Amino acid sequence: MRYFIDPFGCVKNQVDAETMMAFLGRAGWVSAPDADSADIIIVNSCGFIESAKRESIGAVLAWRKNYPEKKILLAGCLARRYAKELARSLPEADGLFDNADLAGIAGAAEKAAGKTRPAKPVSRRNGGAGAGAGSPEAAAVSAAAPPDPGRRPLLSLPGSAYVKISEGCNNRCSFCAIPLIRGGLKSRAIPDVLEECRELLARGIGELCVIGQDIGSYGRDFGGAGRDSAAGIAAAGLPGLLEALSTLEGDFWVRLLYIHPDHFPLPILDIMERDKRFLPYFDLPFQHASAKILAAMNRRGTAESYLGLVETIRGRLPAAVIRSTFLLGFPGETNGDFDELLDFQEKARLDWLGCFTWSREEDTPAYSMKGRVAKKIAAERKRIAVERQIPVTEKQMERFIGRTLDVLVEEAVDAEEGLYLGRLYCQAPEVDGAAVIVCKEGEDPPEPGTFVKGKIFGRTGFDLQVSRIAGQG
């Protein structure tokens, strides 16, 4: 039997997809290159915010319309968050798979594949519960977990892999549905993470992107008792994990993504100073800078504390690159609060910034908060923040011009012309700009997934232009 995965959502969901593929492969399923040649289409959904939910449901409806005879399994966060409602209201799906237990994917796929589709075409759903009354109930499947088979294949860019060190989150930011979907924090044991990293490095991976909902919280659920006796290192949160990772041999990058700024573990800066394989790249989702809005978001920071953190990081690691996200239009956000955020934005000189507008999510504390901001106003505030960031990011990127740095090659744009795309340490996969690598005539083409040395000679938009230094890898 052959399956095709249609992926949605964040890179944490991508890691889940990789793990599901590994479990499916072990059970004898084969990955199909496209839906045409698949027996079952697995939509690995996102249920984080309204637009993402609509996109995932839209995908199920589109697959059903285009492939009435195929089986469709809805997996991922949406299937988990709305299991009961979707079982009733989305007859277009032949099954739902709760990603709490990824080991059960093969059982869910088999069950969905064995279902008989209704003789008549299914009705279009309009989102209302019960729209599919009378249709076959979707199959919610859970199975006991066999041992983790490892992740094969990787869905990331060449040379790079995401390593998920924890699941869930205990922070309870008032706007966030993640704890509702993924539950409380569950950190993986250090030896387990180390083993995965070793395996990835042995496969030639050059960049390990460490992810979790908030990797700054890593190990807090160990309750101080966790001890990695194998490596003889106390599991003292993220610093303990980084100490363990620094025992691995070889030349590789470790990129840390998503550290909640309210409990940034400062000791990691010591490790990063010492071991240059930990990239001085920081993804700190500040979300806002008004103390009133941050408190309503159930975050403890202020503009001052966040600027202090930015200064501390840059003081310790002058090469630091900082990315953040802002959430605009949270309930109660006034023009004054927005001005505070713009003031913070100007002072922080962030290298990269993603801006989002608030999405009213059921069962989150913010859902029933008063002072809702009109969508138009929220969108306008987002537009202003994005526009203000453009010259800041461009200027921040210009400081790299003239420097010689390692570049991770990703793909050939025009091999005959010697043009390739890759990334520098200041560019995280998929979210930041790229390095446009120019090779001289007659040079051996660089291999995607490997490092080359390059001199940065210019900037186009957010991308940096790099001339490859021949003979240096």
217 or 396: whose CB is closer to ligand SF4? 217
> Site for ligand SF4 (CB under 6 A): which residue of 19, 213, 359, 364?
213
The distance of closest approach from Cβ of residue 378 to ligand SF4 in the complex, given in angstroms and rounded to an integer, is 17
Distance CA 131, CA 312 (A): 55
Pairing assessment for the beta strands 2-7 and 30-31 based on DSSP bridges: parallel
Instruction: Name which of residues 299 to 318 contact ligand SF4 (CB under 6 A).
Output: none
Whether the upstream peptide bond of residue 91 has omega within 30° of 0, thus cis, is: no
Distance CA 78, CA 71 (A): 18
The distance of closest approach from Cβ of residue 102 to ligand SF4 in the complex, given in angstroms and rounded to an integer, is 19
Distance CA 146, CA 447 (A): 37
DSSP state of 442: T
Residue 449 in tokens = 């997934």
49 or 74: whose CB is closer to ligand SF4? 49
In degrees to the nearest 10, what's the CA dihedral of 414, 417, 418, 423? -50
87 or 177: whose CB is closer to ligand SF4? 177
- Residue 357 contacts ligand SF4 per CB under 6 A: no
Closest of 313, 338, 340, 315 to residue 328, by C-alpha = 338
The distance of closest approach from Cβ of residue 106 to ligand SF4 in the complex, given in angstroms and rounded to an integer, is 29
- Residue 214 contacts ligand SF4 per CB under 6 A: yes
Q: Is the dihedral of CA 448, 452, 457, 458 positive or negative?
A: positive
The distance of closest approach from Cβ of residue 418 to ligand SF4 in the complex, given in angstroms and rounded to an integer, is 42
172 or 453: whose CB is closer to ligand SF4? 172
Instruction: Name which of residues 161 to 200 contact ligand SF4 (CB under 6 A).
Output: 169, 171-173, 176, 178-179
Q: Helices (DSSP H) in 5-96: which residue ranges?
A: 11-26, 50-66, 77-81, 83-89
Q: Which string of x and - marks every residue 222-261 that binds ligand SF4 (by CB under 6 A)?
A: --------------------------------------x-
Instruction: Name which of residues 395 to 434 contact ligand SF4 (CB under 6 A).
Output: none
> How many of the chain's residues bind ligand SF4 (CB under 6 A)?
10
Beta carbons within 10 angstroms of residue 150's beta carbon:
13
Instruction: Name which of residues 367 to 396 contact ligand SF4 (CB under 6 A).
Output: none
The distance of closest approach from Cβ of residue 328 to ligand SF4 in the complex, given in angstroms and rounded to an integer, is 15
Distance CA 29, CA 449 (A): 27
Closest of 362, 393, 414 to residue 463, by C-alpha = 393
241 or 464: whose CB is closer to ligand SF4? 241
- Residue 364 contacts ligand SF4 per CB under 6 A: no
71 or 182: whose CB is closer to ligand SF4? 182
The distance of closest approach from Cβ of residue 366 to ligand SF4 in the complex, given in angstroms and rounded to an integer, is 11
172 or 292: whose CB is closer to ligand SF4? 172
Residue identified by tokens 């959904």 is: 45
Distance CA 381, CA 80 (A): 32
Q: If DSSP codes are grouped into helix, strand and coil, which group holds residue 158?
A: coil
Per CB under 6 A, residues contacting ligand SF4 are 169, 171-173, 176, 178-179, 213-214, 260
